[in-house]
Amino acid sequence: MSAYFVDVLRGQIIRGRELEHAAIDAEAGMEADVA
Amino acid sequence: MRFAGLEAKITATNGKLRNLRAAYHVASERDARQRVEQQTRDRLWQLSRFAAALTKRDELVTKFCKGAKIAAESYRGIRELTIELTAMLPEGTQMPSGMSLNNGECLVDDVANPAPLEHLAAAELYRGAQIRQPGDQGTLPAAAPFSLSTIFRSEALEPWSQRPSA
């Protein structure tokens, strides 16, 4: 049970990292468009 | 001619500005990515600490259940003997008023007290877990002081079998 719980939390952290990177990509894309 | 010189300067300055802006964007993007990676490392470290405590807690729950199993084995014997004792009461006698074979008995400040088994179990959980007072955060309802007089001095409670022999 605990191992599953920890896996879920690890998934949330990794997903959070992916979302942050995606947000940075999107921002960089917008800046490129403006330039 | 003077204007042509100025135009050239403006163009050159604009070029520099564009380059500086581009460099700034590249640097801030790199910083943002580094920040995300550091944040992820921090969170994974927090998770490993959390997981270690969770594992320790699971081990304690298992230990608690093993203890409960030992208590239950005694409880089984207590129940069987309670039923047998009822039938073994000598002829011509009866249980003294206020006493019940379902109760245990304990000493509080060397005075005998009738003690239902569940009260003793609750009192042992209460004092063994070093709960400071009833209703402390996260305490089981089943962990309760034996009596008002023992809330803050659980050590006053002793098993009846510990009484000094007369």
Closest chain A residue to B30 measured between Cα atoms?
A: A24
Binary contact (B54, A2; C-beta < 8 A): yes
Model pLDDT, residue B39: 96
Binary contact (A21, B33; C-beta < 8 A): yes
The residue-averaged pLDDT of A15-31 equals: 90
Asked whether B151 and B126 are in contact (CB, 8 A), the reply is no
Q: Is B133 on the interface with A (CB under 8 A)?
A: no
Model pLDDT, residue B162: 64
* H helices present in chain B, as ranges: 2-88, 117-128
Whether residue B13 has pLDDT greater than 90: yes
The complex's ipTM? 0.83
Q: Is B132 on the interface with A (CB under 8 A)?
A: no
Q: Is B62 on the interface with A (CB under 8 A)?
A: no
Model pLDDT, residue A18: 96
Q: Is B33 on the interface with A (CB under 8 A)?
A: yes
Q: Is B58 on the interface with A (CB under 8 A)?
A: yes
Structural tokens at position B166: 């007369």
Whether residue A2 has pLDDT greater than 80: no
Model pLDDT, residue B161: 72
Model pLDDT, residue B1: 64
What does the pLDDT look like over B24-58, one tens digit per residue?
989 999 999 999 999 999 999 999 999 999 999 99
| Chain B residues within an 8 Å CB radius of A2 | 51, 54-55, 58
**How far is B144 from B91, CA to CA, in rounded Å?**
39
Residue type, B140: L
**How far is B57 from B63, CA to CA, in rounded Å?**
10
pLDDT band at B110 (very low <50, low <70, confident <90, very high): confident
What does the pLDDT look like over B85-95, one tens digit per residue?
888 989 999 88
Instruction: Kindly report the average pLDDT of chain B as a whole number.
Output: 88
**How far is B41 from B54, CA to CA, in rounded Å?**
20
What does the pLDDT look like over B125-166, one tens digit per residue?
999 888 888 888 888 888 888 888 888 888 888 877 766 665
